A and B are shown apart, each in its own frame.
Chain A
Amino acid sequence: MSKILLIEDDEIMPKIVARILPATEYQLDHVSNGKEALLKLEATNFDYDLIITDIMMPYANGFEILSKVKNQSRPIPVIIVSNAGNEDMIMEGFKLGADDFLKKPILPAELLIRVKRLLMKNT
């Protein structure tokens, strides 16, 4: 079972993602801001197979999480899911090492396929 950390401050999105990614195949942990995410990652010793994160969040934004995660000896694949349409922000995400980007509103099937693809690539 793959362990996924979802960092998202929207209250609906975690419910949607939980339905898209079946609980039988994925263990989904949710935190609602960057600070909680960093605490969670440190507490679990970065033991996640994938991170799905928003960009604009309170306390620490998606870029900070990204740079922290990508500086680890075992970088975790990261998918950015955001409604930021700004090209510079998307490019900044990829420069920091994001593996994929999905713009909100998302296509559920697309998220599922991209999650599967990244997990397969990293196993």
Chain B
Amino acid sequence: MALLQLSAFPSTIESIFRNAPLAIQIAMVFIVVAITGTALAYYSILRSRYRGYRRDKKLSVLLPEIDNLIIDEVLTNPDMQQDIPADQVPLNLEPFQRLPLDRPWARQALTDRIIHFRRNVRGNMGNLLRNLYIQLELDKDTMKKMKSRRWEKKVQALVELTSLNMSIADVTILPLTNSRNRELRAAARHAYIKLSKNEPFKFFDVVTDPLLMWDQVELFRIITTTEGIAIPNFARWITYSGNKSVVSFCLKLVVHYNQLAAVPAIIKLLDTRDHYLRADAINCLGKLKVAEAEDQLVRIYTSQPLHCQIEILKAIGRISSGRNIDFLKTEFLHSTDFDLRKSAAKSLVKNEWFAKQVIDELLATSSPENLRILKHCMNPLIKY
């Protein structure tokens, strides 16, 4: 009886659906779609949680085993105590064969653990960990991941290669430095800077898209924190790069590395038609304190847009040669723009050593608004 009722259920639903008004029919379709979607979502969450639970359970057994093997075979290797170079130390791989290395998850766990150890120790021990990675042929897995179509696999491979200081062919990695995917692009640039022995900045030549501000922040961090990379003369890209963002970024690097050899290239950049780039060049000259450029900056001042004028005033303040006090005073007194007056006042204060008399005179004779600006700039507790 119950079976009969159950077999009649779909036809009952169908007849209800057919006889219902259109709005109800649409609502019923939505309800079915929503219930199915929710059920699928719950199933997928449960499935991934169960998989995670199984993986954690397996790893909780495997990881202590891996740690002990690495400690016994690498960290306390008797040859390491005798200062034998890592490439001449024979590794006993037999104990590692007891691990389930035929399973990809176990190989991945071993790779991750070797990298984790290498983040904590360096020197001969670090090199021996790298040898272990190569001798267990874990590098082949990494190269497979490099060929994967999924970007996250590629990023993972790049991180592994970088952490283990493995070399990669330029043809493999250079196209990735231009990838549309932000994560992949950043990882590839990081890897290229770290791993390229000859020209770590070669990708500047192939960058076609603009370097976004975030890219620049990331790259700056990578370049300035990576040890042992050869820093080139960035004048090369300032002069020849057709990518404005690369030029702008190189100007920041020139300032960071105080590359005075790049000054002629930066002065040449003052003739560029792009006024944002010109403003960056002026900013760079000021931060490098290039006194020779000061007269040229004052000469071009009147023909510049506002933000370049502000940069010129700031640069004169940073250079602090005391040669253009009258110019700063004139700008402070007669400029109609507030930012120009503020920058001129700030630069006058920075030239205080030469402009003491002028500042005293301005303090005594300025209009109330100018006096407020000047006092604001003279307050050492206020930076901006």
Interface residues of A (CB under 8 A from B): 10, 12-13, 15-16, 19, 83, 85, 104-109
Known: A15-B67, A19-B71. A106 touches B225 (CB 8 A): no
A16 to B67, CA, bound (A): 10
Q: Which of B74-131 contact A (CB under 8 A)?
A: 75-76, 113, 116-123, 125-126
Q: How far does the Cβ of B109 sit from chain A's closest Cβ, in whole Å? A: 13
Binding site for A on B (CB under 8 A): 67, 71, 75-76, 113, 116-123, 125-126, 225
Bound-complex Cα distance A106 to B119 (A)? 9
A114 CB, min distance to chain B CBs, angstroms: 14
Q: Indicate if the CB atoms of B67 and A106 lie closer than 8 Å.
A: no
Bound: A105/B119 CA distance, A: 5
Q: Which of A13, A19, A85, A105 has the most CB of B within 10 A?
A: A105
A residues near B118, Cβ cutoff 8 Å:
105
Chain A, residue nearest B80 (CB) = A108
Assuming the contacts A85-B225, A105-B121, asked whether A12 and B126 have C-beta atoms less than 8 A apart, the reply is no
Beyond contacts A12-B120, A16-B75, A108-B123: 19 other A-B pairs, Cβ-Cβ < 8 A, are: A10-B120, A12-B117, A13-B120, A15-B67, A16-B71, A16-B121, A19-B76, A83-B119, A85-B225, A105-B119, A105-B120, A105-B126, A106-B121, A107-B121, A107-B122, A108-B75, A108-B121, A108-B125, A109-B123
A85 to B225, CA, bound (A): 8
In the complex, the chain B residue whose C-beta lies closest to that of A104 is B120
Cβ-defined contact, A15 with B71, below 8 A: yes
- 4 closest Cβ pairs, A-B complex: A105-B122, A107-B123, A19-B75, A105-B121
Cα distance A106–B126 in the bound complex, in angstroms: 10
A12→B112 CA distance, assembly (Å) = 12
Q: Which residues of B contact A104 (CB under 8 A)?
A: 119-120
CB B344 to nearest CB in A, in angstroms, measures 32
Cα–Cα, bound, A85→B71 (Å): 27
Contacts of A106 in B (CB 8 A): 120-122
State A107–B118 Cα separation when bound (angstroms).
11
Main secondary structure of the interface of B (DSSP, over half): helix
**Whole-angstrom distance between the alpha carbons of A104 and B122 in the complex?**
8
| Least CB distance, A3 to chain B, in whole angstroms | 23
Query: Can you give 18 A-B contacts (C-beta < 8 A)?
Result: A12-B117, A13-B120, A15-B71, A16-B75, A16-B117, A16-B120, A19-B71, A19-B75, A104-B120, A105-B118, A105-B122, A105-B126, A106-B121, A106-B122, A107-B121, A107-B123, A108-B121, A108-B123
Q: How far is the CB of A74 from chain B (nearest CB, A)?
A: 31
Distance in angstroms from A39 CB to nearest chain B CB is: 25
A19 to B125, CA, bound (A): 13
A108 smallest CB distance to B (angstroms): 6
Question: Which residues of chain A are near B119, meaning CB under 8 Å?
Answer: 83, 104-105
In the complex, chain B residues whose CB is within 8 Å of the CB of A83: 119
Closest to A103 in B: B122
Distance between B14 CB and nearest chain A CB, rounded to angstroms: 59
Nearest CB in chain B to that of A20: its residue: B75
Chain B residues whose CB sits within 8 angstroms of the CB of A109 once the complex forms: 123
Q: Tell me, rounded to whole Å, the shortest Cβ–Cβ distance linking B352 to chain A.
A: 27
CB contacts (< 8 Å) of A13 on chain B: these are: 120
A10–B121 Cα gap in the complex (Å)? Answer: 13
Residues of B within 8 A of A107 (CB): 121-123
Taking CB as reference atom, which chain A residue is nearest B122? Answer: A105
Give B82 Cβ to nearest chain A Cβ, in Å: 12
Residues of B within 8 A of A108 (CB): 75, 121, 123, 125
| Distance between Cα atoms of A108 and B122 in the complex (Å) | 8
List B contacts of A85 (CB < 8 A). Answer: 225
